[in-house]
Amino acid sequence: MMKDIATPARTREILEKYGFHFKKSLGQNFLIDTNILHNIVAAAELTPDSGVIEVGPGIGALTEQVAKKAKKVVSFEIDQRLLPVLKETLAPYPHAEIIHSDVLKADLKETIEEKFEQGQDLMVVANLPYYVTTPILMKLLEEKLPIRGIVVMIQAEVAERISAKPGTKEYGSLSIAAQFYAKAEKMMTVPASVFVPKPKVDSAVLRLTIREEPPVQVQDEEFFFKVFHSSFANRRKTLLNNLIHNLASKEQKPEVEKALEQAGIDGRRRGETLSMEEFAVLSDALLEQLG
């Protein structure tokens, strides 16, 4: 039987056969540890009926492990040079399909409709290219796709920010943005030694479980996002100053103060001390005062 792709020997063999050189600009760090891959797949809690969307299959290390558990895998790969490689490595898995595209430009809703059954259990599973972690995750969340969740390998520092609680130094607009859509859990940290080439930063596996209902009710979701983004724009500034400089204007200071009072929040506090519930109340009050 063929060895798994994600072993150091088989990976080296494949890379040599195709004369493949890593492109740093595409975040190419391939996994060469099957144990880590098993942990990623286990975190996704796939069933034999599950469908999986993968971002960046590389030479197919993770795709192969997912294909062993799921009914179908559809992977987006931007690097054309990897297409012939994947054709060979994934030949034993005809239910694994590659789409040659930048995932950020792809119409994911359409892909899901085309490639998966209606109502099928769907997960996103990926070892993400680190240069675009946040845009990819925010796209997956903001598009409100019919998925159960997302399990991804990302930079440890980003995993900590996404899963952070209020009052911690990691807590910021990314924590609220992600936690608005999903329950976030950092599953494990991963040493750089399980990748070729080794990345410069530590990595972690993050699991996002999509919420059926948002955790807070707001009158205007887009405005709510603007409010907390503005509140974190300058972490040394107070909440009041951040709101005046980044959301409203100096002339609107009285209205901002009134909204803070209405929400029962002290304007001298810093954004990182506010919970998502407090931002929701503040957002509605600011909407009323600023119109």
Binding residues for ligand SAM (CB under 6 A): 26-31, 55-58, 61-62, 76-79, 82, 102-104, 127, 129, 132
- What are all long-range contacts of 72-75, with beta carbons under 8 Å and residues at least 24 apart? 72/96, 72/97, 72/115, 72/116, 73/97, 74/99, 74/111, 74/115, 74/116, 75/99
Compute the least distance from the CB of residue 271 to ligand SAM, in Å.
Answer: 30
Cβ proximity to ligand SAM, 51 vs 129, nearer residue: 129
77 is in an annotated binding site: yes
Residue 83 φ/ψ, nearest 5 degrees? -60, -50
Q: Quick one: 130 or 232, whose CB is closer to ligand SAM?
A: 130
Closer by beta carbon to ligand SAM, 126 or else 218: 126
Q: Are 51 and 81 in contact (CB under 8 A)?
A: no
Rounded to an integer, what distance in angstroms lies between the CA atom of residue 58 and that of residue 23?
11
Shortest reach from residue 255's CB to ligand SAM, in Å: 42
Instruction: Name the residue nearer to ligand SAM (CB basis): 103 or 218.
Output: 103
Work out how close the CB of 87 gets to ligand SAM at its nearest, in angstroms, rounded to a whole number.
Answer: 15
Residue 135 CB, nearest approach to ligand SAM (Å)? 9
C-beta of 7 vs 241, nearer to ligand SAM: 7
Q: Are strands 122-127 and 182-190 parallel, antiparallel or unpaired?
A: unpaired
In the block, tokens 């887009």 appear at 222
Find the shortest distance in angstroms from Cβ 37 to ligand SAM: 8
The verdict on whether residue 246 carries a ligand-binding annotation is no
Q: How far apart (Å, rounded) are the C-alpha atoms in residues 35 and 73?
A: 20
The whole-angstrom distance between residue 103's C-alpha and the CA centroid of its chain comes to: 12
Closest CA to 30 of 53, 13, 7, 46: 7
Residues belonging to the binding site are 29, 31, 56, 77, 102, 127
Could you tell me which residues are annotated as the binding site for S-adenosyl-L-methionine?
A: 29, 31, 56, 77, 102, 127
